[in-house]
Amino acid sequence: MTKTVEEKQRVVVRFAGDSGDGMQLTGDRFTSATAVLGNDLATLPDFPAEIRAPAGTVHGVSAFQIQFAATDVTTPGDRADVLIAMNPAALKADLHTVEGGGTIILNEDAFTPRNLEKAGYAQDPRHDGTLDGYQVYEVPMTSLTILATEGVGIGKKEAERAKNMFALGLLSWMYGRPTDVTLQWLEGKFGGRHEILDANVAAFKAGYNFGETTELFAHSYKVEAAPAEPGTYRNIAGATALAWGLVAAADRSGLPLFYASYPITPASELLHELARHKSFGVRTLQAEDEIAAAGIALGAAFAGHLGVTGTSGPGMDLKAEMLGLAVIMELPMVVVDVQRAGPSTGMPTKTEQGDLLLSMFGRHGESPMPIVAAATPGDCFDAAIEAVRLAVTYRTPVILLSDTFLSNSSEPWRVPEVDSLPAVDPRFERAREDGGRFLPYERDERLARPWAVPGTPGLVHRIGGLEREDLTGNISYEADNHERMTHLRRAKVEGIARDIPPLEVDDPGGDAELLVLGWGSTLGTIRAATRRVREEGRSVAAAHLRHLHPFPANIGEVLSRYPKVLIPEMNLGQLALLIRARYLVDARTYSKVQGLPIFADELEHEILRALDE
């Protein structure tokens, strides 16, 4: 059979199966091969919330979505062009994610009466009209994998586990992905277990050869490389980028990095990644609880280290008292909050932007803290460096907001030259040669107090949670002093607005009546949605906030230029609440709290609705 190769500009592929089917691994390997080809890409891992839901049930479905293209990619895609469903539960859970007329590849062997019943199907969806309007291909992946692995020295159960490699091989053929990338990875992963290596290699090659030889598929597809600036690129996930940003900031400030945390999804990956970098002087500690982790990081900061702690929403609740201590002690410390769906335990593996107001106000007393938010997986690197810069320069704890989507997703990232990264001078206090008295709360032009490392001769001073006397740092209950210190701490944080870039607005025509204002991981969706609206001949402006406290100094002037302001958020309108209160702007919220990112088509519809009102 003669097969043709069709060229496509962009494709969205979604792998879905039971949580034990290796869908995250399959997606990750497909992503790596895609990155090698030079396509721009964005991914969306979608984990089940249960640690081990019953096999074959909808609650246990794990999925991985990737959009790759020959042009700029800003989101993992609204709807999948291709869904690979490894069992009936995967089909039931993810059929709604497939574009009408899209391709569905089913693992035929998994559609048994028992599996259909566990997935909640009363009838076989292959035969009752459920899949009408889709291109459906049934492939016996499990049995073909068992056949391909005969003679490699493993049992049937072990052979079945390699069926994800069969699926990966099939999709690698379908979209012209290089095979050597996957084969080299398998060699490195299973090189010490030859029978497992041989089984996975055999399954992968069987899937690739099946696509090439079967009459089931008449076409393969080609997606050209996307234009990119010269440089060294790698595919990077947000958690890795954030960890590397902290390591880079430590290097550029000359401070040893000390990271303390308690395991919590999805922030645990940050601890795992940083623990791999002892060669860069990174020290990590898994504390007994969230409060201890924050206290340890604060103690490290007092000792002259770059003290960092990380957590997710429930952990931020517990750290609140220690963060208040960091505010009154005025020590540099970074607190990473990888947001997830709440409240309480909520949905641990699902994304949300619900912690903005917690970051602003989630401490007793007047305890202001700068807030920095990352916007893309690669931007987590730069956001980490900025958070460290503000913490060290202004002697203050800083909250760095990421979220589950950013942490788990990945994109191509150009590796920067280390010398191009901003240097941060910790400006440690030194013993005074003139013998003058050390004043631990004497401030510089930024209102930052001295950072005095314990043991430095002549710099003995008191620390603690009681109010400090201005200049001396002695304990003080004086009313006027407390008011003065409260105003000073606030003015110090508010003064950061002079030290951050102005808010940039993307308004090509300069005549838009609607401004779409975002923060955090909504950046890619806002870019995609506004691009589509402009392609329809409509005018819309967009701006994105990295600094959420304080806001950029020009934000009031920007807001005043637009009659309509739309703020898309994965919460019930937290940034909109702050904008309305501070600037008296009638900002409108587009809210989504489903544990999923906002999709570009959803926001496009909302933008058009706002323009037409």
The domain limits of the chain are: 4-222, 234-420, 505-612
pLDDT of residue 52: 77
Show the beta-strand stretches assigned E in 19-97: 40-46, 61-69, 80-85
Record the pTM. Answer: 0.95
Alpha-carbon distance of 303 to 329, in angstroms, equals 13
Alpha-carbon distance of 131 to 124, in angstroms, equals 10
Alpha-carbon radius of gyration of the chain: 27
pLDDT of residue 51: 74
* Identical fold between 4-222 and 234-420: no
CATH 3.30.1370.60 fits 505-612, yes or no: no
Closest CA to 570 of 543, 551, 589: 589
**Superfamily for 4-222?**
Pyruvate-ferredoxin oxidoreductase, PFOR, domain III (3.40.920.10)
Contact present, 337 and 353 (Cβ < 8 Å) = no
Q: Write out the DSSP string of 101-140.
A: EEEEEEEGGG--HHHHHHTT-SS-TTTSSTTTTSEEEEE-
* Ranges of the chain with pLDDT below 70: 1
pLDDT of residue 178: 95
The amino acid that residue 592 corresponds to is: K
Q: Is 351 exposed, middle or buried (0-12, 13-18, 19+ CB in 10 A)?
A: buried
Q: Of how many residues is the chain composed?
A: 613
CATH of domain 234-420: 3.40.50.970
458: left (phi over 0), alpha (psi -120 to 50) or beta: left
Q: Is 365 exposed, middle or buried (0-12, 13-18, 19+ CB in 10 A)?
A: exposed
pLDDT of residue 434: 75
Alpha-carbon distance of 141 to 106, in angstroms, equals 8
Q: Which residues have C-beta within 8 Å of that of residue 172, sequence separation ≥ 6?
A: 30, 33, 178, 179, 182, 204, 207, 208
pLDDT of residue 1: 64
